[in-house]
A and B are shown apart, each in its own frame.
Chain A
């Protein structure tokens, strides 16, 4: 499984998001390396199609695909299962994306 983690230093939730990703991958038995990519400029954001920190791609697919992507060096808002907005993706969101990718790959 190809797992990529994009983040900006400006958004303080990235450490916790990466920790959450590692935890869920461990629980799901995924031992692949995570490619961690730091995005430092608006130019990089455009080039990498970065819609905000943190962004998690599993086999090239965003764990929470945006409907109207806007590429910028910004922090990303996730709408959680209970409707709240958070700067962190939930464990459920990450788990669903991993299971979907695993099912497609099998």
Chain B
């Protein structure tokens, strides 16, 4: 179970990114929304969804929305999740959002992240607005019926109530040390 409930405030983080800069929660405070996505390299669910993550960032950047991906996986057991491999993946897939390394796993534990990918969407005031999956079909982007994250973003930006504020995150388990 995630440690954050809808309406809770975002938990602070300060983590190195694949751009060799340190990124913290504070730098996103002025945005209209922040999507923290626990992610990784090796998981096929992430790999199935990551083009959609890039597209969502591209579609919503102009509306003041920022996505941030965080990889907390143990890279001793899953070497594909190492920081150098994260840099490779970010270049290869042309990530248009920061991809951060949570080496100590403290941030993932604080959020109570369980799966990759798992979305925590915060509003302008950094209050949790939506938690769960990106959409309802990891296998086939053309067959998606429920665009959970896009729906949450649209509702949040227009100030409308959200019909689905929580869904079950679907993906690999976070690989704890």
A contact residues vs B (CB 8 Å cutoff): 10-13, 16, 42, 52, 72, 74-78, 84-88
Q: Are B170 and A12 in contact (CB under 8 A)?
A: yes
Contact of A85 among B44, B77, B170, B172 (CB under 8 A): B44
Q: Are A10 and B44 in contact (CB under 8 A)?
A: no
CA distance A72 to B45 in the complex (A): 17
Q: Are A78 and B44 in contact (CB under 8 A)?
A: yes
CA distance A96 to B130 in the complex (A): 41
Q: How far does the Cβ of A55 sit from chain B's closest Cβ, in whole Å?
A: 12
Q: How far does the Cβ of B108 sit from chain A's closest Cβ, in whole Å?
A: 16
Other contacts beyond A11-B172, A74-B42: 12, CB < 8 A: A12-B45, A13-B139, A42-B77, A75-B43, A75-B44, A75-B45, A75-B171, A75-B172, A77-B47, A78-B44, A86-B44, A87-B138
Q: Are B171 and A12 in contact (CB under 8 A)?
A: yes
Q: How far does the Cβ of B49 sit from chain A's closest Cβ, in whole Å?
A: 10
Contact of A87 among B48, B77, B78, B173 (CB under 8 A): B48
Q: How far does the Cβ of A18 sit from chain B's closest Cβ, in whole Å?
A: 14
CB-defined contacts of B139 to chain A, threshold 8 Å? 13, 16, 86-88
CA distance A78 to B170 in the complex (A): 17
CB-defined contacts of B172 to chain A, threshold 8 Å? 10-11, 74-75
CA distance A13 to B48 in the complex (A): 12
What 10 A-B pairs are tightest by C-beta distance, nearest first? A77-B44, A85-B47, A87-B44, A75-B172, A10-B173, A88-B139, A86-B139, A86-B48, A12-B170, A75-B44
Q: How far does the Cβ of B45 sit from chain A's closest Cβ, in whole Å?
A: 5
Provide a sorted-by-A list of 5 A–B residue pairs whose CB atoms are within 8 angstroms: A10-B173, A16-B139, A72-B77, A77-B44, A86-B44
Q: How far does the Cβ of B164 sit from chain A's closest Cβ, in whole Å?
A: 19
CA distance A74 to B170 in the complex (A): 14
Q: How far does the Cβ of B93 sit from chain A's closest Cβ, in whole Å?
A: 11
CA distance A12 to B138 in the complex (A): 10
Contact of B78 among A11, A13, A74, A85 (CB under 8 A): A74
CA distance A31 to B45 in the complex (A): 31
Q: Are B48 and A85 in contact (CB under 8 A)?
A: yes
Q: In the complex, which residue of chain A has the Cβ closest to the Cβ of B51?
A: A84
CB-defined contacts of A75 to chain B, threshold 8 Å? 43-45, 171-172
Bits for B45-56, please: 1 = Cβ < 8 Å to A, else 0.
Answer: 101100000000
Bits for B109-128, please: 1 = Cβ < 8 Å to A, else 0.
Answer: 00000000000000000000
